[in-house]
């Protein structure tokens, strides 16, 4: 049931491979202490974001939480810019000022990268509000984890979206754990999707290990929203193979559970589907995987060789003089935004 907005499956498989190989490299570089702060990996969940972007337009708004590397890559941010951001380099997608949890890419309609759990859900509603205000048919895709559904801002946002009939899809990436706390230990409902019913928002449960199911169900949801703005809720059931962050050994879950999901791996599954339909040979798959590995490896080299953000621009991003603009190709510096206030000691009185 391929729809006009859907993207080529082999291309999407190769995107899933890129995400996985990128995250593996990020993990390795984190352990080598090239990456600071927190680092949350997406391995295991690739079909969720790839299935979603395969079903939407490139100019639909996308916003997510802190496990965000894959969302930027899926949107078209280069692996180089993503890895450089982890290294805190000026060539990073947020110029090295955001880090792992704060990826932004205006050009590719990636609106972050938000690290306070559920604090971005109202932002998504505001973005959808803007679309409706301007009578655009854009849809906002708001990703968050199962940990977000018990925050007040999540509930306020769902109510507002339903009240104002705004074109937003709330996508709960249910990977069964909010850090180390399982859904059954955090949530009064048995089924997360039932949260939506309380706000009169239609809800759907989707197998997040199955790329095609994610894509097809999202296609249907997004299609229904375009002509008739309203919110929708998708609980996409998935699994992260790694811990919550790099410092988490994930001792709160069993090996058996992890193995069960690994056997249902989203990349393996899509590969098998394509192979069965004679759309992909083993050789082609190996070539795609090799390319993904090469891109990820090259991104490490790019990040290592990139410059640090210049110290003299420290105050350039605190206040904007002009509305921010998308970065021009290859532009690495912050000329777009001169300081409004500047350093405290240099306010008007320094003369």
Partner 1 sequence: MREITYRQALNEALAEELARDPNVFLMGEEVAEYNGAYKVSQGLLERFGPKRIIDTPISENGFAGMGVGAAMVGLRPIIEFMTFSFSFVAFDQVVNNAPNMLTMSGGQFNIPITFRGPNGPAHQLGATHSHATECLYANVPGLKICTPATPRDAKGLLKTAIRDNNPVLVLEVELLYSSKGMVEEEDVELLIPLGEAEVKREGSDVTIICYAQTVPLALAAAETLENEEEISAEVLDLRSIKPLDLETILKSVSKTHRVVIVEQDRPFCGVGAEVSYRIQKEMFDGLDAPILRVAQEDVPMPYNEKLEKAVLPSVEKLIAAVKKVCYA
| List of residues contacting partner 1 (CB under 8 A) | 61, 63, 92-98, 102, 104-106, 111-114, 116, 119-131, 133, 152-153, 156-157, 159-160, 163, 316-324, 326-327, 334, 336-337, 340-341, 347-349, 351
Smaller CB distance to partner 1: residue 125 or 201?
125
Which pair of tokens denotes residue 240?
Answer: 């992260």
Cα torsion 326, 55, 146, 202: sign:
positive
Whether the Cβ atoms of residue 209 and residue 269 lie closer than 8 Å to each other: yes
- What's the rounded Cα separation, in Å, for the pair 227 and 293? 41
Residue with tokens 């890419």: 105
Burial tier of 146 (Cβ tally within 10 Å: 0-12, 13-18, 19+): buried
Q: Closest distance between partner 1 and the C-beta of residue 107, in Å?
A: 9
Q: Closest distance between partner 1 and the C-beta of residue 34, in Å?
A: 19
- What's the rounded Cα separation, in Å, for the pair 326 and 329? 9
Q: Closest distance between partner 1 and the C-beta of residue 115, in Å?
A: 9
Smaller CB distance to partner 1: residue 181 or 332?
332
Q: Closest distance between partner 1 and the C-beta of residue 116, in Å?
A: 6
- What's the rounded Cα separation, in Å, for the pair 193 and 181? 18
Three-class secondary structure of residue 1 per DSSP: coil
Smaller CB distance to partner 1: residue 104 or 233?
104
- What's the rounded Cα separation, in Å, for the pair 46 and 127? 25
Residue 135 CB contacts under 8 Å (≥ 6 apart), including other chains: none
Smaller CB distance to partner 1: residue 70 or 81?
81
- What's the rounded Cα separation, in Å, for the pair 233 and 280? 33
Which pair of tokens denotes residue 176?
Answer: 């069964």
Q: Closest distance between partner 1 and the C-beta of residue 37, in Å?
A: 13
Smaller CB distance to partner 1: residue 287 or 326?
326
Smaller CB distance to partner 1: residue 189 or 324?
324
Smaller CB distance to partner 1: residue 293 or 338?
338
Q: Closest distance between partner 1 and the C-beta of residue 337, in Å?
A: 5
Smaller CB distance to partner 1: residue 46 or 68?
68
Q: Closest distance between partner 1 and the C-beta of residue 125, in Å?
A: 5
The angle at the Cα of 66, spanning 93 to 30, to the nearest 5 degrees, equals 70
Which pair of tokens denotes residue 232?
Answer: 């929708």
- Cα distances (Å, whole numbers) of residue 231 to 73, 129, 145, 152, 224: 25, 11, 18, 18, 10
Q: Closest distance between partner 1 and the C-beta of residue 245, in Å?
A: 18
Residue with tokens 């990020």: 26
Q: Closest distance between partner 1 and the C-beta of residue 121, in Å?
A: 7
Smaller CB distance to partner 1: residue 183 or 225?
225
């Amino acid at each position: 049931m391929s729809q006009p907005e859907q993207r080529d499956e082999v291309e999407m498989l190769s995107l899933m491979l890129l995400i996985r190989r990128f995250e593996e490299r990020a993990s390795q570089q984190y352990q080598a202490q090239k990456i600071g702060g927190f680092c949350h990996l997406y391995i295991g969940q690739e079909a969720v974001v790839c299935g979603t972007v395969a079903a939407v337009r490139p100019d639909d708004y996308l916003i997510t939480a802190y496990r965000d590397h894959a969302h930027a890559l899926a949107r078209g941010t280069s692996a180089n810019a993503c890895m450089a951001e982890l290294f805190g380099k000026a060539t990073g997608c947020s110029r090295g000022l955001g880090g792992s949890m704060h990826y932004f890419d205006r050009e590719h309609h990636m609106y972050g990268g938000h690290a306070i759990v559920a604090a971005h859900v109202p932002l998504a509603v505001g973005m959808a509000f803007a679309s409706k205000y301007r009578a655009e048919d854009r849809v906002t895709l708001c990703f968050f984890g199962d940990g977000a559904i018990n925050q007040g801002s999540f509930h306020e946002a769902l109510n507002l979206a339903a009240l104002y009939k705004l074109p937003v899809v709330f996508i709960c990436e249910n990977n069964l754990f909010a850090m180390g706390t399982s859904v059954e230990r955090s949530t009064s409902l048995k089924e997360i999707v039932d949260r939506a019913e309380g706000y009169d928002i239609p809800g759907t449960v989707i197998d997040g290990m199955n790329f095609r199911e994610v894509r097809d169900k999202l296609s249907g949801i997004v299609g229904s929203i375009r002509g008739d703005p309203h919110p929708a809720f998708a609980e996409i059931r998935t699994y992260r193979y790694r811990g919550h962050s790099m410092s988490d050994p994930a001792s709160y879950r069993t090996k058996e559970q992890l193995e069960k999901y690994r056997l249902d791996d989203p990349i393996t599954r899509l590969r098998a589907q394509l192979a069965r339909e004679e759309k992909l040979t083993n050789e082609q798959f190996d070539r795609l995987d090799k390319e993904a590995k090469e891109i990820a490896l090259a991104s490490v080299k790019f990040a290592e060789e990139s410059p640090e953000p210049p110290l003299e621009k420290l105050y350039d991003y605190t206040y904007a003089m002009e509305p921010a603009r998308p970065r021009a190709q290859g532009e690495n510096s912050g000329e777009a935004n001169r300081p409004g206030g500047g350093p405290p000691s240099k306010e008007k009185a320094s003369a």
